[in-house]
Chain A
Amino acid sequence: MNILLLALIGALLLLDKYAFGEFGLSQPVIAGTIIGSLCGDVATGIFIGALFQMVFLANLPIGKDVPPDAQAAGIAGAGSYFILKETNQSEPNLMVVVLVGILISVLGSLLDTMVRRVNEKLFYQFLRDNRKLYACHFTGLFFSFLRGMILFLPTFLFVNLLKAPPILQTDYNKEFLLIVIVSLGIANGIYLYLKRESFYFLILGVLCTLVFFVL
């Protein structure tokens, strides 16, 4: 898929984080599915999305807090995987995906903070001239879109230049990451539900799983 188009889709998906709608499209598992289906491999898209979803699950946006950018990490991770796959004509190493995710979640959070600071200037602009309400407000939307493009376009261009060595036993690598995803999910679940009445349902789920494994 065209890199510019992929960056554009990524930037549009990232708007859903808070600038427009918040329909959940930017959640890593959803964004991964969308990018995967556009690139012709939904299963891997879901897999990469699931990894980032689980890492950032308990990382909740409260008030003015700007947590690491899980949404950007998921989009960049899935996009990078498919770009690597296309340029190298082989199954890429998932290690690169994790590394891109780490870098983009930090960079995304920094850019997010920058955009919010720039938006302050828009507010003061409005205070000086209240006829500019709509212009100031929707310029903020444009800045959020720009943030996505600044994040994804250079990342995808850089990833496109990488010549990743062919990876051995990709299936084993995937199986290992699957164990990591499940472990992260369980840890997050226990962390979120331990002090609530619903913890009994978690035990019920574990018992069902045990029955399945034993049978």
Chain B
Amino acid sequence: MHIGIFRLIRLFLASLFLQSSWSFHSLQSLGFLVTVMGGIDRKKRKFLLQNGRFFFNTHPYMAGFIIGAVLRGIEQENDFESLKKHIMVSQSAFASFGDTFFWHTIRPGLSIMAVLIGLKCGVLGPLLFLVIYNLIHLFFRFYGFIAGYERGWDVVFVLKEKRFLVIQQIFEALGALVTGLLPLILIKNMNALFIIPLSGIFLVFLWKKVAPILILTFVFILVIINLILL
């Protein structure tokens, strides 16, 4: 079974708006329906609108895997209740994978790299971030629809593929390495030694789960103290 290039593009464009109407109660339900509607023929749309009223929430980049499988299920005229059960189970698995893979690994690693290269070499850092991040992100968006449609609900086993684990490990290593290299952007003088106590204080804040807003307030106080001491 092949999804077809035009349908894939339609689904991809619709999935960019997946979270446009995100709310605490309905989560991504409307976005999910709008995306699925873009992938089925007109006759089945009415049926979906009447039966597709349920709550949907997963990682936005991973939604394609589930939506692809749903499209296959609808085309094979699967019972809608069983589709709902599959959606409920798989959305948590994909959400958990996406959070770890993108939010905990790729984005922080690339952000630190963008800051390091950006402060040292200018626009190259942010550009690298955008290119690498979107290559991976767009791959998941497109591949998700294709894999979901071709494999049906077995698509959940994609999460166990070794290549994704390898990518995750590469970005963890990259993030850790560039963190160690961060002091390179400082000017070589005695003031640079301030990073040792400051990093310690910030680390304690992070471990104690201090709100970022308080960390920013602490930075503000430091700037004032710095101005007074001038």
Contact = CB atoms under 8 A, between A and B. Distances in A.
B223 A189 contact: no
Contacts of B25: 120, 123
A98 B219 contact: yes
A22 B26 contact: no
Q: Interface residue tally of chain A, by bracket?
A: 35 or more
Interface stretch (B14-22, B66-74, B147-155): B14-22
A30 interface: yes
A198 interface: yes
Contacts of B61: 22
Tell which of B23, B133, B174, B230 has the most Cβ of chain A within 10 Å.
Answer: B23
A179 interface: yes
Task: Say whether chain A's binding surface is mostly helix, strand, loop, or mixed.
Answer: helix
A181 interface: yes
Contacts of B104: 60, 192
B212 interface: yes
A29 B114 contact: yes
B87 interface: no
Contacts of A46: 118-119, 122-123, 125-126
B78 interface: no
Interface string A194-208: 001111111111111
B17 A20 contact: yes
B33 interface: yes
A187 B205 contact: yes
A27 B22 contact: no
Given A182-B182, A186-B199, A201-B173, A98 B216 contact: yes
B16 A208 contact: no
Contacts of A67: 212
Interface stretch (A2-10, A82-90, A146-154, A168-176): A168-176
A19 B147 CA distance: 25
A182 B222 CA distance: 14
B107 interface: yes
Interface in A20-79: 20-25, 27, 29-30, 33, 37, 42-43, 46-47, 49-51, 53-64, 67-68, 70, 73
Given A95-B227, A201-B176, A212-B184, 20 more contacts: A19-B17, A29-B125, A29-B129, A58-B206, A70-B212, A123-B30, A134-B34, A140-B21, A141-B20, A172-B230, A180-B222, A182-B183, A186-B199, A189-B176, A191-B206, A201-B174, A204-B177, A205-B182, A206-B180, A207-B180
The 6 tightest CB contacts between A and B, nearest first, are A205-B180, A189-B179, A140-B21, A187-B202, A183-B198, A119-B23
